Amino acid sequence: MDKHLIRGGNPLYGEVKISGAKNSVLPILAACLLTDQNVRLSNIPHLNDVTTTMELLGQMGVKLTVQEDLSIEINAKEVNNFYAPYKLVRTMRASILVLGPLVTKYGQARVSLPGGCAIGHRPVDFHVLGLRKMGADIDVKNGYIDASVKGRLKGAELSFDVVSVTGTENLMMAAVLAEGTTVIKNAAREPEVCDLANFLNSLGAQISGFGTSTIVIDGVDALSGGSYRVLPDRVETGTYLVAAAMTGGKITAKNTSPDLLTVVLEKLEEAGANISFGKDWITLDMRKERPKAVNFTTEPYPGFPTDMQAQFLALNTIASGKGEITETIFENRFMHAQELRRMGANIKLSGNKAYSVGAPHLTGAQVMATDLRASASLVLAGLVARGQTLVDRIYHIDRGYECIEEKLAQLGADIKRIPDASSI
Ligand code: UD1
């Protein structure tokens, strides 16, 4: 397994180009199953999760061609296999996103249950209940969801107890080709849900209300083809900004959108950063200052994103003052805390809260990545630690950060990838 070797102490300076959003591109690729026409997607990040999704769609019969400009041309006219096997779903929970499109377009699907996930229980009951309410016959057994419907799915009123991002997306995609109107209440308002809705509408879907907690979808008979550019990645943007804040540097994130990061930018300002931005760029200047600790509670959008929690906990460990972070989305999302402690961080966990007392510096250590955003927090900690940090199991980071070591190195970090077989 590859590792990252980091020698801490360099402040970050310069420009970093932000990639397309992982959490947009995955549902948008799945949504390509809904049309027989050609679709061209651009601003696609080169990530392991994208490769896995392409492999999943490819084995269903979808034709995917990567163009010279790295956009992808997709045609799903000859889909002949409606099966998402465990070996692919296991590595990427978002594979569940093919369920809604397959049932609504082809009347059948067999999708593996995602199984245990490091950051919590993460069930898919909303996905299943919603499709049942729309008329699908669903059997969940032997680790698989078997779904079928005779004729078309029927529009229905759907409501979630808890806000679910992929649940909203799956049912929205199913509703696009259903007969009649579907109303999704307590829907996720995340920008990636809006990106998916905008993409589907560009192909002729009739979706309104996205970005609010009630989404209304009027089913149509078929979708057309088209071209679409995926939204910038707000979590990747936030991660580089936190990295600059922790190291006392000054960076500009380009090809991004400040509108997607309002609460994150507010927290960075509270931590002492000077922030300026334009339509598609954000500059953070820490003026060589040590950050101040911040307090927050993770919430569904537009609240503070759970996907930025780990990075801010890393910031709090070297900030001045005490920090208190409450995680409300996932029940087991503090696994980075014990790894950060190995680097000298003073963190106490109690239930869904992480209390920290910032130290002037961390010390390098050998640590292990446990999930995608946790791995990012360990890399950030390594950037400010004294000495050498070795982050193991960085396959997690490759799921969601395009060329992270190249991008950080360009900003002045001392980081390199140690390939699997090498010894150091
Ligand atoms: C998505 C994001 C992930 C982000 C998360 C929360 C993608 C590919 N992933 O994950 O990066 O951290 O949103 O913003 O977009 N729940 C249920 N039953 C369900 C579905 C969810 O109880 O059927 C619960 C989950 O256990 C969790 C909460 O709802 O406590 C939110 O989960 P959800 O929004 O569904 O997360 P994902 O869509 O998997």
Q: Which is the catalytic residue, given 32, 117, 194, 403?
A: 117
Whether this prediction's pTM lies above 0.85 is answered by yes
Query: Would you place residue 121 in the very low, low, confident or very high pLDDT band (cuts 50, 70, 90)?
Result: low
Report which DSSP code applies to 117.
B
Mean pLDDT, residues 269-286 taken together: 98
Angle at 46 between CA 112 and CA 376, to 5 degrees: 80
Percentage with pLDDT > 90 across the chain: 88
The answer to whether residue 117 is catalytic is yes
Give the residue, 282 or 87, on which the prediction is more confident: 282
Q: How far is the CA of 297 from the centre of ligand 1 (A)?
A: 16
| Atom number in ligand 1 closest to CA 190 | 14
According to the annotation, is 332 in a ligand binding site? no
Q: Can you give the residue ranges of every domain in the chain?
A: 3-19+232-418, 22-229
CA–CA distances in Å: residue 150 to residues 99, 106, 138, 153, 178: 16, 10, 12, 8, 12
Whether pLDDT at 89 is above 90:
no
Q: Give the residue whose CA is nearest to atom 21 of ligand 1.
A: 164
According to the annotation, is 274 in a ligand binding site? no
pLDDT tens for 342-364 read 999 999 999 999 999 999 999 99
Structure tokens at 404: 């992270």
According to the annotation, is 195 in a ligand binding site? no
pLDDT tens for 128-180 read 999 999 999 999 988 899 999 999 999 999 998 899 999 999 999 999 999 99
Please name the CATH architecture into which domain 22-229 falls: Alpha-beta prism (3.65)
Are 130 and 142 in contact by the 8 Å Cβ rule? The answer is no
Q: Indicate the residue type of 249.
A: G
pLDDT tens for 94-111 read 999 999 999 999 999 999
Are 34 and 105 in contact by the 8 Å Cβ rule? The answer is yes
The pLDDT value given to residue 40:
98
According to the annotation, is 105 in a ligand binding site? no
The pLDDT value given to residue 120:
61
Tell me the three state secondary structure of residue 2. coil
The pLDDT value given to residue 293:
98
Helices 99-106 and 165-176: crossing angle in degrees, nearest 10, is 10
Q: How many residues does the chain have?
A: 424
Torsion sign across C-alpha atoms 185, 190, 194, 197: negative
* Other residues' Cβ atoms within 10 Å of the Cβ of residue 72: 18
Mean pLDDT, residues 242-264 taken together: 98
Torsion sign across C-alpha atoms 253, 256, 259, 263: negative
The pLDDT value given to residue 114:
82
The pLDDT value given to residue 371:
87
The pLDDT value given to residue 422:
56
Rounded to whole angstroms, how far apart are CA atoms 127 and 134?
11
Report which DSSP code applies to 77.
T
The pLDDT value given to residue 392:
93
Ligand 1 contact, 141 CB (< 6 A): no
The pLDDT value given to residue 91:
85
Q: Give the residue whose CA is nearest to atom 32 of ligand 1.
A: 164
Assigned fold of 3-19+232-418:
UDP-n-acetylglucosamine1-carboxyvinyl-transferase; Chain (3.65.10)
Mean pLDDT, residues 194-208 taken together: 98
Residue closest to 355 by CA, chosen among 393, 317, 388, 381: 317
The pLDDT value given to residue 232:
98
- For residue 359, the Cα-to-chain-centroid distance in whole angstroms is 30
Average pLDDT over the chain reads 95
Structure tokens at 338: 């014990």
Residue closest to 177 by CA, chosen among 159, 203, 157: 203
The pLDDT value given to residue 369:
87
Tell me the three state secondary structure of residue 381. helix
Tell me the three state secondary structure of residue 17. strand
Contacts of 259 (CB under 8 A, 6+ apart): none
Q: How far is the CA of 136 from the centre of ligand 1 (A)?
A: 22
Ligand 1 contact, 93 CB (< 6 A): yes
* DSSP string over 234-258: HHHHHHHHHHHHHHT-EEEEES--G
Q: How far is the CA of 414 from the centre of ligand 1 (A)?
A: 34
Mean pLDDT, residues 44-67 taken together: 95
Phi first, then psi, for residue 247 (nearest 5°) are -90, 0
pLDDT tens for 293-339 read 999 999 999 999 999 999 999 999 999 999 999 999 998 899 999 99
Rounded to whole angstroms, how far apart are CA atoms 360 and 117?
34
